[in-house]
Amino acid sequence: MEGIKPPFTPSQELKALIKGLGVGIVIIDKDMKVLWANHASAALAGRHKCVKGSYCYDLLNKGRGPCKGCPSDKAFKTRNVERSRIYAGNTNGGGKYIELTASPVFDKKRDVVAVAVIYCDVTPNVEVENQLKEHRDRLQAVFDGIGDGISVIDRDFNIKRVNREILRIFKKKDFSDILGRKCYEVYLQADKACDDCPAQRSFKDGAKGQLSKVWGGRFKEKRVFDISTFPIRDSNDNVAQVIEYFRDNTGMLKLEEQILRYERLAGVGELAMGIAHELRNPIGNINASVQFCLDRYAVDKKMKRHLRVILRNSESANRIIKDLLDFARPDDIVLKAGSVSKVLERACALVKTRCLKQRVRLYKKWPQRLPVVMLDARRLAGAFLNLILNALDAMPEGGSMIVASYFNKQAKELVATFTDTGDGISAENIPNIFDPFFSTKKSGVGLGLSIAHHIITHHNGTILINSKQGIGTEVTVSFPVSQDL
């Protein structure tokens, strides 16, 4: 057979070249036995004697059998140059990372008769790579741990890097959903950069950019972000990339609006209290006088009809006064551990007859067991009843309504939802629906939702409205769940 036969001896020129390379070189046959090896390969394997005739894997793997993913074995099969990196350990606990390059040796018939393997100690390189990876992982942990969104873009507005907060803000599951795409496509759902883009200024002037942006369409509710941009310069002092820093200020603005709302409601509450007290006694006297006349005197039918109109309207005025007092005196709420599902059941029972009359299908959905929360069952039932009645008012020709409740484990909140298929609320009216005396109905004084909001707030709860005209409305009420209960 033509090919390499032991003893294989390279030429003097090749010996000089091999010695100058300073790397280990062996030539092995198909049985993985060493046909020839240079001195560097023996030193690399920790041997001081000739390694010829040994199995190649005994040099580095210390008798533990063929190396996993052996490049020599692959080279025999593929007839191509194959590479691999292995860790060669020893009994002392130390070891080296060896990079193997296996090149097939052909005979005249182009059959692979041997493989030449170059052993290169890359331990210093691997140690540097590991250190760099460790530093990179630490920086990534800091990067992802920042509570605000960070995005890095290039001059073409391609997103090069983001932290995990960006995924959360824009509701993306994986980095692959964002990286490589245009920032204005992902963040603004637009086909070009916005005219007031702060990143453009940073690219152009190399200065910090600043912008407050209101997002409404892509989120369930309006969100407000402060966006700051910072230039990243290359070695030539040119702006190569820009950092975009997103800070969600929605909560702060909501808090400011809530404070202003409370201040406004406090003034309205004092006014309502004063009016209610001034009117309560006169209206009570009117009611009592009319009732006395109806019971004591024999009046004709026409007079009796007019007296009953007075009585009916005085009773209506009394209900309004009661609503005013309920609105002005929320502090009489007494919180005790209780079941929200029982309160929902009570509120639903009170509207059962009206649902039948209006041809509204009422569905109740909640599990048998829900966490208890701190509540005032009577006042909360009144708040839920107001929400349900408003939904029924929006469905005069019938429809359907779902009253549901569930536990949000992530937020540690108990949630109650009221979903109807009514007329919906216009976008311009949603910010005002909880204001006292605001109403789009022909009848009523607009206190029902204000009172409901007041009661829920005093339960440390939140109430959100999501509505589309012609489709319906969903009201979401959330209460904190304490671990102590």
Question: pTM of this prediction?
Answer: 0.46
Q: Set out the domains of the chain in order of their start, with CATH numbers.
A: 12-127 (3.30.450.20), 146-248 (3.30.450.20), 253-328 (1.10.287), 333-480 (3.30.565.10)
For residue 472, what pLDDT is reported?
93
Q: Which long-range contacts (CB under 8 A, 24 or more apart) does 140-149 make?
A: 148/245, 148/246, 148/247, 148/248, 149/244, 149/245, 149/246, 149/247, 149/248
- Residue in this structure with the two tokens 């005979």, named with its chain if needed: 107
- Residue in this structure with the two tokens 């390499």, named with its chain if needed: 4
Q: Are 46 and 90 in contact (CB under 8 A)?
A: yes
Range in 103-117, 133-147, 441-455 the model is least confident about: 441-455
Q: Which residues pair with 34 in a beta bridge?
A: 28
Q: Are 163 and 178 in contact (CB under 8 A)?
A: no
Average pLDDT of the chain to the nearest whole number: 82
For residue 2, what pLDDT is reported?
44
pLDDT digits (tens, 9 = 90+) for 162-195: 998 898 888 888 999 999 999 988 888 888 888 7
Treating both helix axes as pointing N-terminal to C-terminal, what angle do 250-296 and 301-328 enclose, rounded to 10 degrees?
150
- Residue 123 binned pLDDT confidence (cut-offs 50, 70, 90): confident
Indicate if the pLDDT at residue 316 is higher than 80. Answer: no
CB atoms within 10 A of CB 435: 16
